[in-house]
């Protein structure tokens, strides 16, 4: 490629990105074959043969799209047992015999251990199975982690390692402690001469999120800060991490700062953020927690000269989870579209359509503690990009009451749609939010306001229900 063509193509790409994400995605689609393509998953939590089905299907999809390698960012064996890791290896070699795809290309294993691989048998997750000392002595991976790795994956195990995939460097850091990958800074310094310069990316992956990066400072299970400090010296580093099971429909799952950090969700189930009426205790009052075990997410990364694209996908209904994330190259400059502060300003605001309506129904029901009471259920449509222009991440619902001559908000709740963590085709059902009579003042005129919100909390204009009169 000559310099003139490179500059013209770069200008078109970055100009499109500044104006319109779909236009930029269309430009990227014309770039041709990527330099390298990588499948990315984590937290697969294999227990037995029944839990292998999705993994096998995902590997097949990766093979079909022609990946050159697959990252698994930890938590492969749910109980930390060798027999479970054997299922991972057997599934890999069934789809990629001798580490080769169906067309004969080499496909690199880019796997690391997570905390479950180390000590999962201590978490009480062996449902219906009593884990005995004899089972642990015979099955536990960690006391023999080097030997098990070599026997199952046919390569030497090292706490931190580096591989080359089609000219790009990939560094894996196995689970070490709950807060650190000890020795990472020294390892990076040791291999510094082999790492690319000039903004060309290299890739690092581990299990827990580096502190205060992807998914923000509030995410569960992030590190203690040493990894963030070590990677911050390398602006061309792109880091992948799992552990929190955060949905890839959450736009905060990608972050840019001194380096780039991306969450890998889970191929097992999606975790819910607390604070929503239908998320998890102690926040649930009137509504049950929504089920997320059909949330099985992964990504396909394509690296071009000018950008990195990340396809977000779920592997139950085989649907995209949103627009591709597109990271401009070279890294280390001013083009950082995924800085949280930038996205908070620029992200599209979800809005209800002018024809949308919110209504309230009343019935006697039971709260999550089993207490019977009158309940007010607010019903409203799901806000999706394909029908409304931008997709809502969750919804804010206010209960407004009138006390004498003063109208005021008596209670505010946040709620997920049942399919917020899936593709839009699985999120078209009506959304509801339930208020109990014990939560609201009695004998007051009231109504409800519903605001669609995106991941960073920006709210669209509300839908308001009709007033409900006391005793009616």
Strands (E), 230-368: 237-241, 254-256, 260-263, 297-303, 307-314, 319-320, 325-328, 359-366
Q: State the residue range of the domain holding 179.
A: 31-346
Q: Is the pLDDT score of 199 beyond 70?
A: yes
Q: What is the mean pLDDT of the chain?
A: 92
The per-residue pLDDT for 11 is 44
Residue 471: its pLDDT value, please?
Answer: 66
For residues 226 and 323, state if they share a domain: yes
Point out which residues pair with 302 in neighbouring strands: 37, 309
Q: Mean pLDDT over residues 105-116, rounded?
A: 98
Residues 338 and 366 in one domain: no
**In 257-370, beta strands by DSSP E:** 260-263, 297-303, 307-314, 319-320, 325-328, 359-366
pLDDT bucket at 442, cuts 50 / 70 / 90? confident
Q: Specify whether 334 is located in the same domain as 426.
A: no
Banded pLDDT at 10 (limits 50, 70, 90): very low
Strands (E), 134-252: 160-165, 168-173, 202-205, 237-241
Q: Give the model confidence (pLDDT) of 134-188 as tens digits.
A: 989 999 999 999 999 999 999 999 999 999 999 999 999 999 999 999 999 999 9
Number of domains into which the chain is organized = 2
Residue 9: is its pLDDT beyond 80? no
Domain identity same for 137 and 42: yes
Same domain, 284 and 368: no
356 vs 5, higher pLDDT:
356
Asked whether the beta carbons of 346 and 447 are under 8 A apart, the reply is no
Residue 4 pLDDT greater than 50, yes or no: no
Residues 324 and 423 in one domain: no
Q: How confident is the model at residue 22 (pLDDT cuts 50, 70, 90)?
A: low
Residues 323 and 401 in one domain: no
Q: Is the pLDDT reported for residue 202 higher than 70? A: yes
Examine residue 16 and state whether it is found in any structural domain, yes or no. no
Instruction: Please check whether residues 399 and 263 belong to one and the same domain.
Output: no
pLDDT tier at 128 (50, 70, 90 boundaries)? Answer: low
- pLDDT greater than 60 at residue 14: no
pLDDT confidence bin for 29, thresholds 50/70/90:
low
106, 109, 226, 376 from 201: Cα distances, Å: 21, 19, 21, 53
- For 249-270, what is each residue's pLDDT tens digit? 999 999 999 999 999 999 999 9
Residue 366 sits in the same domain as residue 432: yes
Residues 6+ apart with CB under 8 A from 309: 25, 28, 34, 301, 302, 324, 325, 326, 327
Assess whether pLDDT exceeds 50 at residue 17: no
pLDDT at 447 over 90: yes
Please work out, in degrees rounded to the nearest 5, the angle formed at the alpha carbon of residue 139 by the alpha carbons of 134 and 144. 115
Position 125 scores a pLDDT of 57
171 and 273 belong to one structural domain: yes
> Do residues 367 and 306 both lie within one domain?
no
**What's the pLDDT at 130?**
76
d(CA 437, CA 375): 6
pLDDT at 234 over 60: yes
* Burial class (CB within 10 angstroms; exposed 0-12, middle 13-18, buried 19+) of 312: buried
Domain assignment of residue 235, yes or no: yes
DSSP secondary structure letter of residue 458: -
Domain check: are 327 and 209 in the same one? yes
pLDDT, tens only, 263-308: 999 999 999 999 999 998 777 899 999 999 999 999 999 999 999 9
């Amino acid at each position: 490629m000559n310099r003139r063509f490179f500059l013209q193509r770069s200008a078109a790409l970055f100009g499109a990105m500044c104006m319109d994400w779909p236009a930029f995605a269309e430009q990227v689609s014309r770039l041709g074959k990527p330099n390298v393509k990588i499948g990315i998953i984590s937290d697969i939590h294999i227990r037995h043969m029944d839990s292998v089905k999705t993994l096998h299907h995902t590997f097949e999809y990766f093979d079909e799209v022609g990946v050159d390698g697959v990252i698994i960012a930890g938590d492969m064996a749910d109980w930390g047992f060798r027999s479970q890791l054997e299922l991972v290896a057997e599934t890999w070699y069934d789809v990629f015999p001798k580490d080769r795809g169906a067309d004969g290309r080499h496909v690199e294993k880019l796997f690391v251990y997570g905390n479950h691989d180390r000590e999962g048998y201590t978490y009480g997750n062996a449902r219906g199975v009593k884990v005995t000392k004899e089972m642990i002595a015979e099955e536990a991976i960690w006391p023999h982690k080097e030997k098990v790795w070599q026997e199952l994956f046919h390569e030497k195990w090292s706490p931190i390692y580096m591989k080359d995939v089609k000219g790009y460097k990939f560094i894996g850091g196995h689970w070490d402690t709950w807060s650190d990958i000890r020795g990472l800074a020294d390892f990076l310094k040791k291999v510094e001469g082999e790492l690319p310069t000039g903004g060309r990316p290299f890739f690092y992956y581990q299990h827990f999120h580096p502190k205060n990066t992807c998914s923000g400072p509030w995410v569960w299970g992030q590190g203690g800060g040493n990894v963030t400090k070590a990677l911050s010296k390398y602006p061309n580093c792109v880091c992948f991490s799992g552990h929190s099971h955060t949905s890839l429909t959450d736009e905060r799952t990608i972050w840019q700062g001194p380096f780039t950090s991306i969450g890998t969700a889970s191929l097992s189930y999606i975790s819910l953020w607390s604070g929503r009426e239908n998320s998890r205790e102690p926040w649930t009052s009137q509504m049950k927690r929504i089920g997320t075990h059909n949330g099985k997410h992964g990504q396909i990364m394509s690296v071009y000269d000018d950008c990195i694209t990340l396809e977000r996908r779920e592997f139950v209904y085989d649907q995209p989870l949103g627009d591709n994330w597109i990271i401009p190259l070279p890294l280390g400059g001013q083009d950082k579209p995924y800085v949280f502060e930038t996205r908070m300003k620029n992200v599209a605001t979800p809005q209800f359509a002018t024809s949308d309506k919110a209504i309230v129904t009343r019935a006697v029901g039971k709260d999550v503690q089993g207490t019977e009471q009158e309940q007010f259920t607010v019903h409203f449509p799901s806000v999706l990009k394909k029908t409304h222009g931008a997709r809502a991440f969750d919804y804010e619902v206010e209960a407004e009451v009138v006390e004498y001559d003063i109208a005021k908000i008596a209670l505010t709740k946040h709620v997920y749609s049942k399919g917020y963590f899936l593709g839009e085709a699985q999120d078209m059902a009506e959304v509801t939010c339930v208020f109990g009579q014990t939560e609201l003042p009695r004998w007051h005129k009231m109504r409800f306001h519903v605001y669609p919100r995106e991941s960073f909390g920006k709210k669209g204009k509300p839908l308001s229900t009709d007033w409900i009169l006391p005793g009616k």
